[in-house]
């Protein structure tokens, strides 16, 4: 009888010890899943920006901060005699900012269940619900760095598609209340109307 109690006690001690040894591994494994999603998002967004960097239809513009570059393509050229905005200027413009949940898919697609998936997420735009442009006035130094870099190289009448890597956009943190996650590559279609 005593030996059975000792064996049960011994067995409980061994199980407890085993649990203590395995618990950190379980917690680390849980953390790895979270980090893996964030890492995957970062890798996919950086890979998409690299694809655009290699695209001959786009031009490279080094950031004025020396912290990387943006990519852009000219949709329409404006007044070549016009001046570029200064960092301290205010400008009037139209724009639409977007990103994708899956960069390998088109903006809208049908999944294997027949559901239409909206893959392109517009997070900010000057187009109202009726499709009308409602220009905004912004300070060149009051926007994210990549947007500011683009504006300082545009003339009134220019319309560009601008690709901004996460380090010149919103950085590593999720922007609460928006679909913008940390490490997001952002795309803006910007039309500079005038410099105020």
83 within domain boundaries: yes
pLDDT at 133 over 70: yes
CA distance to 38, 43, 77, 179, 188, per residue, from 35 (Å): 5, 12, 43, 19, 28
- Residue 148, pLDDT above cutoff 90: yes
Residue-wise pLDDT tens digits, 18-68: 554 555 544 455 555 556 788 999 999 999 999 999 999 999 999 999 999
pLDDT in tens, 156-178: 999 999 999 999 999 999 999 99
Q: Does a structural domain hold residue 62?
A: yes
Q: Which domain holds residue 175?
A: 52-195
CATH number at residue 135: 3.10.50.40
Beta carbons of 163 and 52 less than 8 angstroms apart: yes
* pLDDT for res 3: 47
Main-chain phi, psi angles of 77, to 5 degrees: -95, 140
Say which residue, 6 or 111, is predicted with more confidence.
111
Tell me the whole-structure pTM to 2 decimals: 0.80
Confidence (pLDDT) at 2? 44
**Beta pairing partners, 57:** none
Tell me how far CA of residue 90 lies from CA of 52, 86, 192, in angstroms. 29, 9, 11
Would you say residue 12 lies in a domain? no
* Residue 6 domain flag: no
**CB of 79 closer than 8 Å to CB of 157:** yes
Number of domains in the chain: 1
The three-state (H, E, C) secondary structure of 105-118, written as one string: CCCEEECCCCCEEE
Q: What percent of the chain has pLDDT over 90?
A: 80
> In this structure, is residue 15 part of a structural domain?
no
Does 182 reside within a domain?
A: yes
The verdict on residue 156 lying in a domain is yes
């Amino acid at each position: 009888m005593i030996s059975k109690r000792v064996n049960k006690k011994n067995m409980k001690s061994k199980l407890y010890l085993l649990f203590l040894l395995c618990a950190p591994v379980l917690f680390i494994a849980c953390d790895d899943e979270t980090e893996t999603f964030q890492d995957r998002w970062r890798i996919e967004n950086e890979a998409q920006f690299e694809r655009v960097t290699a695209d001959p239809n786009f031009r490279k513009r080094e950031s004025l901060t020396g912290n990387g570059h943006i990519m852009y393509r000219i949709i329409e050229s404006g007044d070549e005699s016009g001046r570029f905005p200064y960092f301290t200027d205010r400008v009037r413009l139209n724009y639409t900012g977007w990103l994708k949940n899956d960069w390998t898919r088109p903006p809208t697609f049908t999944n294997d269940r027949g559901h239409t998936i909206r893959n392109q997420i517009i997070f900010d735009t000057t187009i109202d619900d009726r499709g009308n442009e409602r220009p905004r006035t912004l300070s060149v130094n009051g926007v994210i760095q990549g947007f500011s870099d683009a504006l300082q190289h545009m003339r009134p009448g220019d319309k560009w598609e601008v690709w901004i890597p996460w380090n010149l956009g919103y950085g590593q943190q999720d922007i609460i209340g928006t679909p913008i996650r940390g490490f997001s590559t952002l795309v803006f279609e910007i039309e500079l109307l005038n410099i105020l």
